[in-house]
C-alpha cells in the first residue's frame, strides 16, 4: 500500500513505528521510513511535524551519545590511571555506563564517565583524588531548614522568612548562528505569581527593551524578546526582575490526612498524561512492592518518596530524546531532578494522590546556582504541599542539633527559600507560541531561541544567571519602568 493511500490511523502508527525504531537504535531504517512518509500530500501538519521531529530527535541523540568505549576508558583513566579493561567491562555489563547501540555501533552517553562516580561506590573509591560533588548547599540539613520549621511553628503559617531578590537571566546566541540582519526570537523563563511562595514580581528591565511578559496564568511563563543578528558578534538577550520569595513548611500530621475526594479540578492530577506519565505494568508492579498494604495517603507518599530518593542522581541526556521519562527513570536506575520528579508524580497519581510538576532555578547566598525541578502533591486537609525528591530525606549527621530528626521529611511538605518557579507544569505552550519545535520539549529553564530558518538548539546558545539580595521591598506589577 502506498503511504498516500493509507488511512490517518495508519499514518499515526507509522509515526509510532518510527519512534520505536529510533528507541531500538535503527536510525537508518527510521530515516528511510520518515523520508517515505513525508512525500505523502495527505499528511496533516501535525503528522508532518511529528515525523520531522523524530528526524530531529535522532540528531539530538547523536549529540548526546558521542563516545566509543576507548574514549570512555580514556576519560575514566584521568581519574583512575590504572583502570583495567576487566574493571571497565564489569561496570559496563551492569549498566553503570549509559550507552546505545545505533545502527550496529555502540555509543556511550557523553556524561557517562562522570556519572559513573555518582552511581558506583567502587568507582568512587578508585579515584586518584577524591573530589566532592558540586551539590547545592540545601541538599544537606542546615540552619536554614531549622529556621524555616521553627518560624512556621512559631507563626502558625506555612509561608515564612520572606526574602527579596533581584535576578538577571542572560541568553547569548553564538556569533553567526543566524545570518546577519535576520531577526532572532528569544523566550527567557520568567517567574509565575504563586501566593505564599513567590509574590510581588516586578520587571526591572530587559535587553533589548520592551520584553513581552506572558500572563501569569501561563503554566510555562516566559519573557519574549526580538533582536537582529550582527555578523561576527554574539546576540545577547537579558531580563532583570525582582520578586519576594518565601520558604514553605507544612507541619503534616499523618493521622489528619484523608483520602482525596477527586473533584474535576483535581482529576487531571491523578490521571495519566502520555508520553511521560503512564501507568505501565512495570510501574504498577514497582508501586505495589513499595506501597504494600498501606492506605494512608501521606504514608503512601512517604514510601514512594523514600523509594525514589534511593535512585541516585546522575546527569541526564536531553529530555526531548526520551520517549517516556517516568518509565526511563524506573528502568535506568538513575535520574536527574526532572526524571526523578516525573517518576514520583507517576507513582503518586497511580495511587490516587494528586501530584503535579514545578520547576525553575535554585541558588545560594554565595556562588552556587542551578536549574532544578520539583513538584507538589495534594493532601487533605493541607491542600497542595511541596515535594522535592531530589533533595530527598534530610538525615541528621554528626553535627546534629536537637529537633533535627523532625526535619527528615522537610522536602515532603516544605521548600527552602532559595528557588524560583518558572513552570507549574511541563510541556505546555509558550505565549507567544513558538513557530518551530522547542529545544527542551518538557521543561523551560534555559530559554528557547529561533529565527525564520528554524529552532536554535542548545549547542548554539548559552545562558547564565546573576542575582543579589534586595534590602528594601518594592511593589509593582510586571511592567518595566
Confidence of residue 481 (pLDDT cuts 50, 70, 90): very low
First-last CA distance in the chain: 63
334 vs 130 pLDDT, higher one: 334
Q: At what angle do helices 337-350 and 281-291 cross, to 10 degrees?
A: 80
**Distance between CA atoms of residues 416 and 403, nearest Å:** 17
> 114, 336 in Cβ contact below 8 A?
no
Query: For 240-280, where are the alpha helices, taking DSSP H only?
Result: none
Alpha-carbon distance values, 174 to 431, 435, 461 (Å): 24, 21, 5
pLDDT attached to residue 14: 72
Does 168 have pLDDT greater than 50? yes
Output the pLDDT for position 230. 98
Say if CB 244 and CB 144 are below 8 A apart.
no
Q: Is residue 350 within 8 Å of residue 269, measured between CB atoms?
A: no
CA distance 97 to 90: 10
Residues 422 and 448: their CA atoms lie apart, in Å, by 14
pLDDT at 388 over 60: yes
Q: Is the dihedral of CA 91, 94, 98, 101 positive or negative?
A: positive
Query: Is residue 173 a contact partner of residue 459, using CB atoms and an 8 Å limit?
Result: no
Cα 6 → chain centroid: 38
- Considering only residues 12 and 369, tell me which one the structure prediction assigns the higher pLDDT: 369
**pLDDT confidence of residue 55:** 98
Q: Would you identify the CATH topology of the domain 140-481?
A: C8orf32 fold (3.10.620)
Please state whether the predicted TM-score (pTM) of the whole model is above 0.85. yes
pLDDT average, residue stretch 105-111: 98
Cβ contact 314:118 at 8 Å: yes
pLDDT at 401: 92
pLDDT over threshold 80, residue 215 = yes
In whole angstroms, give the CA distance from residue 154 to residue 285.
42
- Chain centre to alpha carbon of residue 454: 24
Percent of the chain topping pLDDT 70: 95
Cell matching residue 13 = 502508527
Strand order of the β-sheet with 105-109 is 65-67, 105-109, 99-102
Please answer whether residues 215 and 437 qualify as being in contact, where contact means their C-beta atoms are separated by less than 8 angstroms. Answer: no
What confidence score (pLDDT) does residue 472 get? 52
Segment 358-382, tens digit of pLDDT: 999 999 999 999 999 999 999 999 9
The pLDDT of residue 287 is above 90: yes
Whether 337 shows a pLDDT value over 50: the answer reads: yes
How would DSSP label each residue in 418-454? SEEEEESSSS---SSPPSS--SSSS--SS-EEEETTE
Mean pLDDT of the chain: 94
Provide the pLDDT for residue 132: 87
3 pLDDT higher than 60: no
Q: Please state the rounded mean pLDDT for residues 394-401.
A: 87
Cβ-count burial 39-77 (b if 16+ within 10 Å, e if not): ebeebeeebeebbebbbbbbebbeebbebebeebbebbe
Amino acid at each position: 500500500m502506498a503511504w498516500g493511500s493509507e488511512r490517518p490511523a495508519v499514518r499515526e502508527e507509522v509515526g509510532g513505528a518510527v519512534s520505536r525504531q529510533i528507541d531500538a537504535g535503527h536510525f537508518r531504517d527510521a530515516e528511510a521510513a520518515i523520508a517515505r512518509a513525508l512525500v505523502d500530500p495527505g499528511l496533516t501538519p501535525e503528522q508532518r511535524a511529528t515525523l520531522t521531529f523524530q528526524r530531529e530527535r535522532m540528531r539530538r541523540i547523536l549529540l548526546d551519545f558521542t563516545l566509543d568505549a576507548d574514549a570512555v576508558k580514556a576519560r575514566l583513566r584521568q581519574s583512575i590511571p590504572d583502570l583495567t579493561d576487566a574493571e571497565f567491562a564489569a561496570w559496563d555489563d551492569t549498566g553503570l555506563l549509559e550507552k546505545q547501540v545505533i545502527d550496529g555501533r555502540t555509543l556511550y552517553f557523553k556524561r557517562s564517565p562522570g556519572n559513573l562516580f555518582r552511581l558506583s561506590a567502587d568507582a568512587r573509591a578508585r579515584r586518584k583524588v577524591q573530589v566532592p560533588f558540586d551539590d547545592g548547599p540545601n541538599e544537606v540539613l542546615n540552619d536554614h531548614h531549622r529556621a524555616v520549621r521553627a518560624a512556621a511553628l512559631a507563626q502558625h503559617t506555612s509561608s515564612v522568612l520572606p526574602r527579596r531578590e533581584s535576578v538577571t537571566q542572560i541568553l547569548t546566541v553564538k556569533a553567526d548562528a543566524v545570518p546577519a540582519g535576520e531577526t532572532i526570537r528569544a523566550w527567557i523563563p520568567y517567574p509565575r505569581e504563586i501566593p505564599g511562595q513567590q509574590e510581588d514580581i516586578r520587571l526591572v528591565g530587559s535587553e533589548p527593551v520592551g520584553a513581552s511578559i506572558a500572563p501569569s496564568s501561563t503554566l510555562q511563563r516566559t519573557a519574549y524578546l526580538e533582536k537582529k543578528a550582527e555578523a561576527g558578534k554574539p546576540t545577547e538577550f537579558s531580563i532583570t526582575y525582582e520578586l519576594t520569595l518565601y520558604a514553605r513548611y507544612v507541619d503534616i500530621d499523618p493521622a489528619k490526612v484523608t483520602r482525596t475526594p477527586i473533584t474535576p479540578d483535581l482529576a487531571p492530577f491523578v490521571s495519566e498524561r502520555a508520553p511521560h506519565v503512564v501507568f505501565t505494568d512495570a510501574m504498577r508492579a514497582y508501586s505495589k512492592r513499595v506501597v504494600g498494604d498501606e492506605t494512608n495517603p501521606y504514608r503512601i507518599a512517604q514510601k514512594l518518596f523514600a523509594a525514589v530518593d534511593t535512585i541516585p542522581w546522575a546527569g541526564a541526556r536531553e529530555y526531548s530524546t526520551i520517549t517516556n521519562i517516568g518509565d526511563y527513570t524506573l528502568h535506568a536506575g538513575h535520574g536527574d531532578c526532572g526524571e526523578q520528579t516525573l517518576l514520583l508524580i507517576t507513582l503518586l497519581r497511580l495511587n490516587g494522590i494528586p501530584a503535579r510538576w514545578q520547576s525553575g532555578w535554585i541558588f545560594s547566598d554565595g556562588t552556587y546556582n542551578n536549574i532544578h525541578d520539583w513538584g507538589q502533591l495534594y493532601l487533605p486537609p493541607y491542600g497542595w504541599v511541596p515535594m522535592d525528591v531530589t533533595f530527598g530525606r534530610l538525615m541528621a549527621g554528626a553535627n546534629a542539633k536537637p529537633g533535627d530528626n523532625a526535619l527528615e521529611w522537610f522536602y515532603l511538605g516544605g521548600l527552602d527559600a532559595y528557588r524560583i518557579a518558572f513552570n507549574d507544569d511541563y510541556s505546555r505552550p509558550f505565549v507567544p507560541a513558538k513557530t518551530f519545535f522547542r529545544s527542551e520539549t518538557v521543561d523551560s529553564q534555559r530559554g528557547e531561541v529561533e529565527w525564520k530558518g528554524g529552532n536554535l538548539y542548545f549547542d548554539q546558545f548559552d545562558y547564565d544567571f546573576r542575582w543579589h539580595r534586595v534590602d528594601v521591598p518594592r511593589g509593582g506589577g510586571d511592567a518595566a519602568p
